[in-house]
Amino acid sequence: MYLSYFNFVKHPFNLTADPYFLFPSPQHQEAMGFLYYGIRQRKGFLAITGEVGTGKTTLCRSLLSRLDESVKTAFILNSNLTEYQLLHAIIEDFGIAANTRNRMNLMRALNSFLLNQVREGNNAVLIIDEAQNLSSSQLEQVRMLSNLETAEDKLLQIVLVGQPQLRKKLDSKGLLQLRQRISIRFHLYPLSSEEVGAYITHRLIVASSNGSPPTFDRRAVELIYDYSNGVPRIINMVCDKALLAAFALDTQTITGRIVRASIRELEGEPELTACSRCS
């Protein structure tokens, strides 16, 4: 509704994990650096954990969009799969043609695909998002995939991505074998108070068609930080509401007052701003 009013080409605060909007905070950059390094160096197992809504999926999508042709990728988003379905989904996402329902044959097809990639000088990466939902037996199956190797190299680099429960799972006694194989672990935290303003400005500029988007004043940013604790998904929710309210009030400056009303609205409390433009 407010897109043309503010000269946006895209919604600046969509809740999708769109890599186009990636804000390269120091920790997001560091996580990306670890992923690149781990994949290039064929480190086998990597794990990215992080608080809910802190940008794990966005980071993965951004990684996928940056890897070149020589890196074959499979991205599994749905971890609510049986062990067979998980293996099948991996094979399908790599684009391997395997006309079999037999698990051993699926493993063989995967192994021969991976060996071919090594021969051609390629690398292969499996990213499993929402990995906190994987059961111990699924995780064990994923560990078995990391056994696929030549004498020198891991054939498959595996990135497990998940919420803090994944960190707990990986630290549990039962998964010691898996934990010992993870060469790189990184945990994403919410943004700091200083980063929140820069995050908001970044998304506004990326979405803007003319490079001069509306502004959030200092008090507005402070209130957004207090409410969201620096979690990007919550920041997006507040900012989207605040932009709608600013549009209704016909202003290019989002003030503390507007943000306070937007938060109240998000909390299900009655709207206080009169909306002359929405009627």
Ligand X SMILES: Nc1ncnc2c1ncn2[C@@H]1O[C@H](COP(=O)(O)OP(=O)(O)OP(=O)(O)O)[C@@H](O)[C@H]1O
Q: Which residues bind ligand X (CB under 6 A)?
A: 14-18, 21-23, 25, 28, 50, 52-58, 163, 232-233, 236
How far apart (Å, rounded) are the C-alpha atoms in residues 233 and 18?
Answer: 12
Min separation Cβ 60 and ligand X, Å: 8
Instruction: Name the residue whose CB lies closest to ligand X.
Output: 55
Min separation Cβ 62 and ligand X, Å: 8
* Cβ atoms of residues 188 and 27 within 8 Å: yes
Count residues near Mg ion (CB under 5 A).
Answer: 2
Nearest CB to ligand X, comparing residues 62 and 123? 62
How far apart (Å, rounded) are the C-alpha atoms in residues 104 and 9?
Answer: 49
The torsion of the CA quartet 17, 20, 23, 26, rounded to 10 degrees, works out to 90
Provide the CB-side half-sphere exposure for 103 (13 A, CA).
Answer: 9
Nearest CB to ligand X, comparing residues 28 and 169? 28
Min separation Cβ 168 and ligand X, Å: 14
Nearest CB to Mg ion, comparing residues 161 and 261? 161
Complete DSSP assignment for 112-169? HHHHHHHHTT-EEEEEESSGGG--HHHHHHHHHHTT-B-SS-BS-EEEEEE-HHHHHH
Nearest to 29 by CA among 222, 231, 208, 191: 191
Q: Which among ligand X, Mg ion, none contacts residue 232 (Cβ within 5 to 8 A by kind)?
A: ligand X
Min separation Cβ 123 and ligand X, Å: 24
Q: Which among ligand X, Mg ion, none contacts residue 6 (Cβ within 5 to 8 A by kind)?
A: none
Min separation Cβ 50 and Mg ion, Å: 9
* Residue 186: φ, ψ to 5°: -140, 140
Please, is 63 exposed, middle or buried when counting C-beta atoms within 10 Å of its C-beta (0-12, 13-18, 19+)?
buried
Report if residue 157 touches Mg ion, rule: CB under 5 A.
no
* Cβ atoms of residues 35 and 232 within 8 Å: no
Q: Which among Mg ion, ligand X, none contacts residue 187 (Cβ within 5 to 8 A by kind)?
A: none
- What's the distance, CA 62 to chain centroid? 8
Q: Which among Mg ion, ligand X, none contacts residue 54 (Cβ within 5 to 8 A by kind)?
A: ligand X
Positions 51 through 70 that interact with Mg ion (CB under 5 A) = 56-57
Nearest CB to ligand X, comparing residues 96 and 198? 198
Q: Is 186 helix (H, G, I), strand (E, B) or coil?
A: strand
Q: Are strands 182-188 and 71-76 parallel, antiparallel or unpaired?
A: unpaired
Min separation Cβ 129 and Mg ion, Å: 6
- Paired tokens of 267: 């909390």
Min separation Cβ 209 and Mg ion, Å: 29
Q: Which among ligand X, Mg ion, none contacts residue 79 (Cβ within 5 to 8 A by kind)?
A: none
Q: Which among ligand X, Mg ion, none contacts residue 233 (Cβ within 5 to 8 A by kind)?
A: ligand X
Instruction: Name the residue whose CB lies closest to Mg ion.
Output: 57
Q: Which among ligand X, Mg ion, none contacts residue 143 (Cβ within 5 to 8 A by kind)?
A: none
Binding residues (CB under 5 A) for Mg ion: these are: 56-57
